[in-house]
Amino acid sequence: MRQIAAVARAMFSRQWWWVTLIVIALMILFARLGFWQLDRLAQRRIANAQLLAAIESAPINLNDEYNAFITLKPDDVPADLPNRNVIATGRYDFDNQYVLKLQTWSGRAGVHLITPFILDGEDGVAVLVDRGWISDADHATGLAYDEGTGPQTIKGYVALTETILRRTTAANAPDDLTDELFRVDIAALADRLPYPVLPFYVKLTPEEGRIDQFPVPIPKEVDLSEGPHLDYALQWFIFSAILGTGYVLYVFRRLNKQESESSLPDGGYDED
């Protein structure tokens, strides 16, 4: 106990107090980073639970449920709605179609076709639909696969509005809307369309048995892993513990060395 008390006094003595404060500050920082990673882990688990619920839930029929969403702003979409499967009946409005630039599929450059889909009904409500990928070559020649102008039923899943530019080489692209987009900004696009638009958009899901479907629908990304957050948290806690333990041992050894030197006769060495 005397040694522990001596080390504690030495750590806060005039010689060591500033080093002790730095070590304590670093230990707190490392521990805080560990708790931050645990917070990230908790958020990831909540997101995984929402994704799993979305996958397992029955599809939303937009023709029946659009009234529950039409009054929402894009930023107010419920957190459990993304990735929910949806089904809708209506027709595409190819006259107001956009292309989403800088998209890839199987390593090939291309674009996505973003087309309003007007739901059957008297209200004329539409939802933007990402119909999938086509190559830059097809886009350059004007090929847009605009078949099926009549009534049809589509299946897909909910995606949220994008309010910041994608981190691509077009990050500094002008923000003015043209027929070519760098993000799917629902609010901005809704201002240009002649009918009400739902506050989210729909990504089509691939049709079963269709391996040659164009545009190529983008499958839902399902990742229910917890990521590296727990490992990172443990690392930060270990760093904090190692720093504190190492510092205490260092001070303890310095004290022992000073006591040994002070016990030697004048001249600094033992006499046999």
Q: Which amino acid is at 69?
A: F
pLDDT score recorded for residue 269: 47
In sequence order, which ranges of the chain are alpha helices (DSSP H)? 2-11, 17-56, 62-65, 136-140, 186-190, 229-263
Q: Which residues contact 201 (CB under 8 A, 6 or more apart)?
A: 114, 127, 128, 129, 130, 158, 159, 161, 184, 186
pLDDT score recorded for residue 118: 94
DSSP string, 18-82: HHHHHHHHHHHHHHHHHHHHHHHHHHHHHHHHHHHHHHHSPPEEHHHHGGGTTTS-GGG--TT-T
Q: In this structure, how many other beta carbons lie within 10 angstroms of the beta carbon of residue 231? A: 11
Read off the pLDDT of each residue in 83-96 and give the average, rounded to a whole number. 92
* 152-183 pLDDT per residue, tens: 999 999 999 987 544 444 444 444 445 778 88
Query: Nearest-CA neighbor of 130 among 54, 209, 211, 205?
Result: 205
* 14-63 pLDDT per residue, tens: 777 888 899 999 999 999 999 999 999 999 998 888 778 777 788 999 99
Of all helices (H) and strands (E), which one includes residue 226?
none
Q: What is the rounded CA–CA span in Å between residue 74 and residue 127?
A: 12
Read off the pLDDT of each residue in 185-199 and give the average, rounded to a whole number. 91
Could you tell me the pTM of the whole model?
0.69
pLDDT score recorded for residue 139: 85
